Amino acid sequence: MVEIIRGALGIKEGGSLPQGLWQTEQIRALERNWAAREGQPLYALMERAGAALRTYATLHWPDSRCWWIFVGPGNNGGDGYVLARLARQIGIEVVVIAARAPDQLKGDARRAADEWQAVGGRVWLTEQFDGAQQPAPDLVVDALLGTGVNTPLSPLLTKIVATINGLAAPVLAVDLPSGLNGDTGRAMGAVVQATRTLTFIGIKQGMLTGDGVDCIGMLDCDPLGVTPDDAILPAAWRIDYPLLSTQLTQRQRACHKGCYGKVLLVGGNRGMQGAIVLAARACLRAGAGLVRVCQHPEHPPVSLYQPELMSLTTADDEGWASVRVIGPGLGQDEWGKGQIARYLTDRLPLVLDADGLNWLAQSPRHQDNWVLTPHPGEAARLLGCTIADIETDRFAAVQALQRRYGGVVLLKGAGTLIYDGERVALCCEGNPGMASGGMGDLLSGIIAALLAQGCSATMASWLGAVIHGEAADLAATDGERGMLASDLLPLIRKLVNPDTITS
């Protein structure tokens, strides 16, 4: 597994995004290491960033002739000053609006501002700027703050961000939308809503989860010639279906159903049969050999909904199952409590979801044989905190969950995070259409099926997440609003057979 991810580091063929995700301090360390190795000043990277921005802006907005560039007090603002100077060289009308006077800047940012002014460039201070007196922009560049945000924005910066968001022009964010914490993915109050973001050196881990997914717009990465060194590994890894689908190899011709595992799913209390049926159907579609369901006895047999599903007719599975799923529609009454007592095990691979997690929160225990799949509300109950606490730093939350409960933890949400005690993976598949009932039940079934077919808990979680999200992305071609969990079932089958997919 490590080799799969390590081998994916760097720009993949076709110019797609790199797999490595970085914390902001790691990026600064990579820059320092590059400067020492190459014997060049860090200002050389600022020049490269400005040149990359000019190329990027002219590529994506070739007809734009007036750029408003908002510059901040640090090196992100320095990138903006370099861009202003280079844009002027190709005939772009540039308006520079600064949060801090150039003579108050330091280091490379001061040098970049001085070089802009040396060629006759003017700087408008924010409090003096009257946009009505300037030509309207057809491109706005956000070079305010970059990666340096870890506290709430000041009133001045909040006002500038509001100004940027209120302009009727596309917005290019330099490295990171201003106001976004690059490590956690949390908006620190106001945040720039970018049309596109060009990030440098590597993708910051907070860009693809939490608030980041709504403010980065279209994301591209330019390494500026800086290659990661072996001494610093990414803080997290971006996973997607194209990367991991290579693990779904063709089956041997002489196989039989017993080769692909027996999954028992426990749940489906009164009024919640749909949850366990969806999980079981997804388990079948993801390739489990045999699937049996333990549900409340008042419900009709699950075979009425899917003939291939079997019902559990005795008090336990008598050693039948090779994998168990506990939780979809389980409920928190005495019947649900009884199923937890009967089927919770530390011997078999186990997926715990929904009310299975709520029972775990009431009686915490640490096991290494399970995959836990909480959404932020369930995660908050498991950690005894609030949903806001979870969403403030999803990376910290998923690691805290794994340390407390063991196994592999998959924290659902925009930018699903998976942590197995060694590495954090971030799944960037999926869309808002998944915000509907039953989607999580499908995920439990998919992961269980992959476990039954011999995947490790880590790989089953990674593959389950990307198959689930990719299926939703395919279903979204008919629209996100109104997407049903059951819409994904035929797509799950297609995705676990990548050899059947044609480009």
What integer pLDDT is reported at residue 314 of this predicted model?
Answer: 72
Whether 502 is in a domain gets the answer no
Are 215 and 181 in contact by the 8 Å Cβ rule? The answer is no
Q: What is the CA radius of gyration of the chain?
A: 26
143: amino acid identity, one letter: A
What integer pLDDT is reported at residue 395 of this predicted model?
Answer: 98
Q: Tokens representing 499? A: 């050899």
Residue where a domain stops, chosen among 208, 234, 260: 234
- CATH assignment at residue 167: 3.40.50.10260
**Are residues 459 and 427 both part of a single domain?**
yes
Mapped onto helix, strand or coil, the DSSP state of residue 89 is helix
Q: What is the distance between the alpha carbons of residues 502 and 483, in angstroms, rounded to a whole number?
A: 24
Give the tens place of pLDDT for each residue, 287-306: 999 999 999 999 999 999 99
Whether 11 is in a domain gets the answer no
**Are residues 418 and 437 both part of a single domain?**
yes
What integer pLDDT is reported at residue 351 of this predicted model?
Answer: 98
Whether 9 is in a domain gets the answer no
Other CB atoms closer than 10 Å to residue 316's CB: what's the count?
A: 12
Q: What is the distance between the alpha carbons of residues 147 and 175, in angstroms, rounded to a whole number?
A: 7
Instruction: Please name the residues in contact with 253: beta carbons below 8 A apart, sequence gap of 6 or more.
Output: none
Residue where a domain stops, chosen among 234, 256, 287: 234
Annotated binding-site members: 75-79, 142, 146-152, 175, 178, 275, 329, 375, 412-416, 440-441
Whether 13 is in a domain gets the answer no
Mapped onto helix, strand or coil, the DSSP state of residue 141 is strand
**Are residues 204 and 256 both part of a single domain?**
no
Annotated binding-site members for (6S)-NADPHX: 75-79, 146-152, 175, 275, 329, 375, 441
**Are residues 178 and 162 both part of a single domain?**
yes
Whether 458 is in a domain gets the answer yes
User: Residue 155 belongs to what domain range?
Assistant: 20-234
Domain count, the chain: 2
Mean pLDDT, consecutive 10-residue stretches, the chain (503 aa), reads 36 59 96 95 97 98 97 97 98 97 96 97 91 91 91 94 96 97 96 98 96 96 90 94 94 90 97 97 98 96 95 80 97 96 95 97 97 98 98 97 98 97 96 96 98 98 98 97 98 94 62
Q: Edge-to-edge strand order for the sheet containing 20-22? A: 203-204, 20-22, 236-239, 424-427, 416-419, 408-411, 370-372, 350-352, 323-326, 262-266, 290-294, 310-311
Q: Residue 53: which H helix or E strand, with range?
A: helix 43-60
Instruction: Please name the residues in contact with 154: beta carbons below 8 A apart, sequence gap of 6 or more.
Output: none
Q: What is the distance between the alpha carbons of residues 163 and 179, in angstroms, rounded to a whole number?
A: 13
**Are residues 173 and 260 both part of a single domain?**
no
**Are residues 433 and 339 both part of a single domain?**
yes
What integer pLDDT is reported at residue 102 of this predicted model?
Answer: 96
Q: What is the distance between the alpha carbons of residues 232 and 229, in angstroms, rounded to a whole number?
A: 6
User: Which DSSP symbol is given to 201?
Assistant: S
**Are residues 160 and 250 both part of a single domain?**
no
Are 375 and 440 in contact by the 8 Å Cβ rule? The answer is yes
Are 124 and 101 in contact by the 8 Å Cβ rule? The answer is no
Whether 230 is in a domain gets the answer yes
**Are residues 282 and 227 both part of a single domain?**
no
Residue where a domain stops, chosen among 234, 253, 277: 234
Please, is 130 exposed, middle or buried when counting C-beta atoms within 10 Å of its C-beta (0-12, 13-18, 19+)?
A: exposed
Annotated binding-site members for AMP: 412-416, 440
Q: What is the distance between the alpha carbons of residues 94 and 135, in angstroms, rounded to a whole number?
A: 10
| CA 360 to chain centroid | 26
Strand 416-419 to strand 408-411: parallel, antiparallel, or no bridges (unpaired)?
antiparallel
85: amino acid identity, one letter: R
**Are residues 370 and 252 both part of a single domain?**
yes
**Are residues 299 and 220 both part of a single domain?**
no
Q: What is the distance between the alpha carbons of residues 61 and 170, in angstroms, rounded to a whole number?
A: 9
Whether 5 is in a domain gets the answer no
Annotated binding-site members for K(+): 76, 142, 178
What integer pLDDT is reported at residue 131 of this predicted model?
Answer: 80
What integer pLDDT is reported at residue 8 of this predicted model?
Answer: 34
**Are residues 226 and 251 both part of a single domain?**
no
**Are residues 316 and 248 both part of a single domain?**
yes
- CATH assignment at residue 251: 3.40.1190.20
What integer pLDDT is reported at residue 502 of this predicted model?
Answer: 62
Which ranges of 169-301 would DSSP assign to H, the alpha helix?
A: 212-215, 241-244, 273-285
Whether 451 is in a domain gets the answer yes
Give the tens place of pLDDT for each residue, 108-166: 999 999 999 999 999 999 988 888 789 999 999 999 998 878 899 999 999 999 999 99
Mapped onto helix, strand or coil, the DSSP state of residue 489 is helix
Other CB atoms closer than 10 Å to residue 341's CB: what's the count?
A: 10
